[in-house]
Structure 1
Amino acid sequence: MTTTEAAATALWPRIGDIPHPRFRVPFLGDILATSPKRPVQGSMRLAAELGPIFHRNIFGQRIVVVSGADLVAELVDESRFAKRVVLGVESLRSVGGDGLFTAHNEEPSWQRAHDILAPAFTREAMVRYHPTMLRMAARLTGRWDARADEGTPVDVPGDMTKLTLETIGNTGFGYDFGSFERDEPHPFVTAMVGALHTAQQRVIIPPVIGPLLTRRADRRNAACTAFMASVVDEIVRERVAAGDTRTDDLLGLMLNTAQPGTGARLDPANIRNQVITFLVAGHETTSGALSFALYYLAKHPEVMARAQEEVDRVWGPDGDPGYEQVSKLRHVRRVLDEALRLWPTAPGFVRAAREDTLLGGKYPMRAGAWAVVLIPVLHRDPSVWGADAERFDPDRFLPERVRARPGHVFKPFGTGERACIGRQFALHEATLVLGLLLRRYHLHDHADYRLKVVERLTLMPEGFTLALSRRRR
């Protein structure tokens, strides 16, 4: 037994009682049941075969995966479990350091940054961001108008990435990446994708020889990380040089305010880590959510027609919708929620036992033992979502049906005190954008696209294009 396996056995004393894949190989473990390029989808297949809890052995590292609603109900209990930074998120610390997403619970920078940044996500702040979101969306529709007039399909994930990067850049940091003036993605996006891929691949490298096999990838990752840091340093440098003391966006709060109660401020290194975290997490997951929602709308014309009717009725045919009007698009929001149910763009979170406990009345966990919650399978648990859980149906999120379900079964933004701080920002932006696109265009699945999901810690449709036609109202 390796040191890693012994540690896992100590933390999970009866790990042998937990199902695991067949054909386990000495030293390599369950490598034959591993999908290096698509580990989430590979784990989804294993969950279908092995059930609501299983474990994997990858080069001696034991990973417990949980997806059953009853077990997740325990893992989200903050009195018993807490967030743990391991696997791909741990690897991502080379990019985000002690930023909000990648910080360990015991690092004081997490609570300090959370308290300082909380005002950036109040209702008053969202009202301030709304006009900027509209301007960024207008840049997207200007691009899509030209494609519609030319009869040229649009690259949905690519354009959603440009939109959401510009939105977080402009609202959060007063910085414009010029994405819509480029044919190719901004170099920041290219570097980010490279860093995310590297973080995912580092989860399954073999011990001892692993560092030898990943030298080239590590050099590329270092270059990607250095470039991202240089972009952020320029953003901060411009703000400081301008002598700007405002506190109406994320960067202003970090530079010019202190933690309430303690007076502690964020140091320059942590500010850089926070900016990188928000630029990456603030656009990557939202662009994926928008892309999946547009995919399902194109595949379900009856749902699209119903959503268009709602937009026309609530917003009218012309003019910019006000902040309050966005939340009135209840069916459009249900479309977004259902897309996030089937393909949560941040597909997992890790929970560790605060003290010795028993999971599901059967599996002993020592303090520090952790498990991965596999959200796409949780969101398909037939005991909660029904026998048709694979079917796209926005009416699952009608108010009476939401009230009838326990809250822990829908977790696209994580859970507990470490859940996504920008949830309302992302939902407002995505609902606004979907409403604007539905009011303006018919979406045509011109290539009979078959969904292919690419993984880079986050999830995104790959190679998805749409043909557009202007709506005549």
Structure 2
Amino acid sequence: MAETGTTTGDVLPKGFRSAEFGWPELERIPHPPHRIPLLGDILGASRRTPLQDSLRYAGQLGPIFRRKAFGREFVFVGGAALAADMADETRFAKHVGLGIANLRPVVGDALFTAYNHEPNWQLAHDVLAPGFSREAMAAYHPMMLDVAERLTGHWDRELAAGRAVDVPGDMTKLTLETIARTGFGHDFGSFERARPHPFVTAMVGTLTYAQRLNTAPSPALLRRATRRNEADIAYLDRTVDDLVRARRDRGGRGGADGGAGDLLDRMLDTAHPETGERLSAQNVRRQVITFLVAGHETTSGALSFALHYLSLNPQIAARARAEVDQVWGDTAVPAYEQVAKLRHVRRVLDEALRLWPTAPAFAREARADTVLGGEHPMRRGGWALVLTAMLHRDPEVWGPDAERFDPDRFDAAAVRARAPHTYKPWGTGARACIGRQFALHEATLVLGLLLRRYELRPDPAYRLRVTERLTLMPEGLRMHLERRTPTQVPTQGVPTQVPMPSGAPVGQEAAGPSSELRCPVHRAGD
């Protein structure tokens, strides 16, 4: 999730001017031209696309710049050298920026939204970290396959009816059901619904409201939206309370198909290994909502962007399919270990997250007085927003063709040649995303599955539009499918994720014929 500001009272020592938020030489940092008194840099700015506006300004103003709106001024960092400096955990720490602070009414001091001084973060992290171990991931794998099968069943029906598939909508259903089932033993029935589950509607509502607060002159102007947000929060709370109550009534053991326990069992039953402390009921609720929201929203966006670029680059898609067919061969259902062997497929996902990191920014604050990049003084508590999407386009790192989709950027040799801290889709440091291995395994598995089963045909009239609701998602992305025929792949096969070589620029269709490889997916016993 993106962090796009701060509430100065949370982090700034007394005596700091709020306009500076810890930057004593703010005037040395460039800002957009045509600044208007009181209103700031609002000319040409869009309330709906603040991140993409900032990317545009980055191209004009350089690796560090500032923007001002309605009396609040923010510093943005995107240059690789400066971002690497801010990744130094001895000098900088996570900062809960305004976009994230706006979610605290929803999830309080949960893993993602806790301030550094709040103890519940470390408690929850230490209790839940084993839930993302290799053993835990292997237990989730069969359930991920089951949910993916529900997706392909839905897509088969859409194909048979001659309809294009709603990629972001269906990826949201997939990832919500995956985290709900693997983490909490719950089924939202998303694929049986014509409309999004009310939980998704409420979740999107809270994210959208948090984004709107970033650009509103005053929350008082959003009274109607505030009432709707309060109703959305109440619905999320009721849903999770019912889920937890049902688990307690069953006596626990809801995950891994009733086996070793899932994330909810850990929240309810596991004490901290050193202190013996347990998560409170309120903390459990907050962590469950965090995982349901963050655990599916960002992964669905990553899958949607990857599928978009795969559809535009048939040669890349064919190369990915060839790897799936070769690595899995006659395997009816891929084992957990086989997913990690799809290295080229994984590069497709990595490259999609480079161009459009679905959590597109993270904020960092100075632990003590320091100088950023040897040039910009920062006082203790001073903060800046690292624009991940800007960092991932720095030509000093990614070359003059940084806008081009090219999974070979993540070839092992290329990765070793790059400096550290140049690729940050999961955040940085101790507060980086706890579930990143879960998301990568799920997304790789699903991409492989879909590539092995379908040819992806883009809508020729579609041009990429990115919607922002703290996270990023392709807007209005629909795609036509063709089923691969059994003669085009080795017997039965189950898919995973997809890799790619070079492709078309962002938002631009690639020319050339598509691959003729097609193949159905069967589960053992089908």
**TM-score, L = length of structure 1:** 0.97
Offset of residue 6 of structure 1? 2.5
- The secondary structure found in structure 2 opposite 1:25 is coil
Match of 2:435? 422
Deviations 1:389-418 (A, max 9, x none): 100000000000000112200000000000
Alpha-carbon distance between aligned partners in 2 of 1:412 and 1:446, rounded to the nearest angstrom: 28
- The secondary structure found in structure 1 opposite 2:19 is helix
User: Aligned partner of 1:227: which letter?
Assistant: Y
Alpha-carbon distance between aligned partners in 1 of 2:147 and 2:341, rounded to the nearest angstrom: 21
Offset of residue 41 of structure 1? 0.3
Alpha-carbon distance between aligned partners in 2 of 1:311 and 1:415, rounded to the nearest angstrom: 31
- The secondary structure found in structure 2 opposite 1:6 is coil
Alpha-carbon distance between aligned partners in 2 of 1:180 and 1:7, rounded to the nearest angstrom: 48
1:450 to 414, 438, 463: 463
Match of 2:104? 93
After superposing the two structures, state which structure 1 stretch, 29-38 or 332-341, moved more: 29-38
1:305 to 285, 308, 318: 318
Offset of residue 10 of structure 1? 6.1
Question: Counterparts in 2 of 1:391-430, with a 5 A limit?
Answer: 391-430=404-443
- The secondary structure found in structure 1 opposite 2:17 is helix
Matched, 1:211 2:219: yes
Match of 1:189? 200
Alpha-carbon distance between aligned partners in 1 of 2:170 and 2:26, rounded to the nearest angstrom: 45
Match of 2:477? 464
User: Aligned partner of 1:218: which letter?
Assistant: T
On the 8 A contact 1:156/1:465 being kept in 2, the answer is yes
- The secondary structure found in structure 2 opposite 1:11 is coil
On the 8 A contact 1:120/1:248 being kept in 2, the answer is no
| Structure 1 residues not aligned, in runs of 5+ | none
Aligned residues: CA RMSD: 1.3
Alpha-carbon distance between aligned partners in 2 of 1:9 and 1:128, rounded to the nearest angstrom: 49
Alpha-carbon distance between aligned partners in 2 of 1:6 and 1:155, rounded to the nearest angstrom: 48
Match of 1:436? 449
Match of 1:231? 239
Offset of residue 245 of structure 1? 5.2
- The secondary structure found in structure 2 opposite 1:408 is coil
Alpha-carbon distance between aligned partners in 2 of 1:330 and 1:274, rounded to the nearest angstrom: 32
User: Aligned partner of 2:53: which letter?
Assistant: G
On the 8 A contact 1:54/1:64 being kept in 2, the answer is yes
Alpha-carbon distance between aligned partners in 2 of 1:316 and 1:234, rounded to the nearest angstrom: 44
User: Aligned partner of 1:288: which letter?
Assistant: G
On the 8 A contact 1:125/1:248 being kept in 2, the answer is no
Alpha-carbon distance between aligned partners in 1 of 2:224 and 2:440, rounded to the nearest angstrom: 38
1:283 to 290, 293, 296: 296
Offset of residue 57 of structure 1? 1.4
Alpha-carbon distance between aligned partners in 1 of 2:130 and 2:296, rounded to the nearest angstrom: 20
2:178 to 162, 167, 172: 167
Question: Counterparts in 2 of 1:239-388, with a 5 A limit?
Answer: 239-244=247-252, 248-316=261-329, 319-388=332-401
Deviations 1:435-467 (A, max 9, x none): 000010000013442100000000000110111
Match of 1:122? 133
On the 8 A contact 1:317/1:439 being kept in 2, the answer is no
On the 8 A contact 1:172/1:249 being kept in 2, the answer is yes
Alpha-carbon distance between aligned partners in 2 of 1:349 and 1:175, rounded to the nearest angstrom: 31
- The secondary structure found in structure 2 opposite 1:352 is strand
Matched, 1:40 2:48: no
User: Aligned partner of 2:313: which letter?
Assistant: H
Matched, 1:70 2:81: yes
Deviations 1:75-131 (A, max 9, x none): 000000000112110101111211101111111000000000011000000000000
User: Aligned partner of 2:309: which letter?
Assistant: Y
Question: Counterparts in 2 of 1:24-63, with a 5 A limit?
Answer: 24-63=35-74
Alpha-carbon distance between aligned partners in 1 of 2:133 and 2:21, rounded to the nearest angstrom: 44
- The secondary structure found in structure 2 opposite 1:364 is strand
Alpha-carbon distance between aligned partners in 2 of 1:242 and 1:261, rounded to the nearest angstrom: 28
Alpha-carbon distance between aligned partners in 1 of 2:437 and 2:234, rounded to the nearest angstrom: 30
Match of 1:201? 212
After superposing the two structures, state which structure 1 stretch, 137-146 or 315-324, moved more: 315-324
The structure with the largest helix share of the pair is 1
- The secondary structure found in structure 1 opposite 2:43 is helix
After superposing the two structures, state which structure 1 stretch, 28-37 or 172-181, moved more: 28-37
2:229 to 221, 228, 231: 221
| Structure 2 residues not aligned, in runs of 5+ | 1-7, 10-15, 255-259, 489-526
Offset of residue 33 of structure 1? 4.6
- The secondary structure found in structure 2 opposite 1:371 is strand
On the 8 A contact 1:21/1:33 being kept in 2, the answer is no
User: Aligned partner of 1:238: which letter?
Assistant: A
Alpha-carbon distance between aligned partners in 2 of 1:132 and 1:122, rounded to the nearest angstrom: 16
Offset of residue 387 of structure 1? 0.6
Alpha-carbon distance between aligned partners in 2 of 1:41 and 1:317, rounded to the nearest angstrom: 44
Match of 2:510? none
After superposing the two structures, state which structure 1 stretch, 310-319 or 160-169, moved more: 310-319
On the 8 A contact 1:153/1:465 being kept in 2, the answer is yes
On the 8 A contact 1:82/1:352 being kept in 2, the answer is yes
Matched, 1:143 2:154: yes
Alpha-carbon distance between aligned partners in 1 of 2:204 and 2:350, rounded to the nearest angstrom: 25
Deviations 1:247-304 (A, max 9, x none): 6211000000111110111111111000000000000000000000000000000000
Q: How many residues end up aligned between the 2 structures?
A: 468
- The secondary structure found in structure 1 opposite 2:109 is coil
- The secondary structure found in structure 2 opposite 1:146 is helix
**TM-score, L = length of structure 2:** 0.87
Alpha-carbon distance between aligned partners in 1 of 2:38 and 2:135, rounded to the nearest angstrom: 55
On the 8 A contact 1:338/1:396 being kept in 2, the answer is yes
Offset of residue 317 of structure 1? 5.3
User: Aligned partner of 1:139: which letter?
Assistant: R
On the 8 A contact 1:155/1:464 being kept in 2, the answer is yes
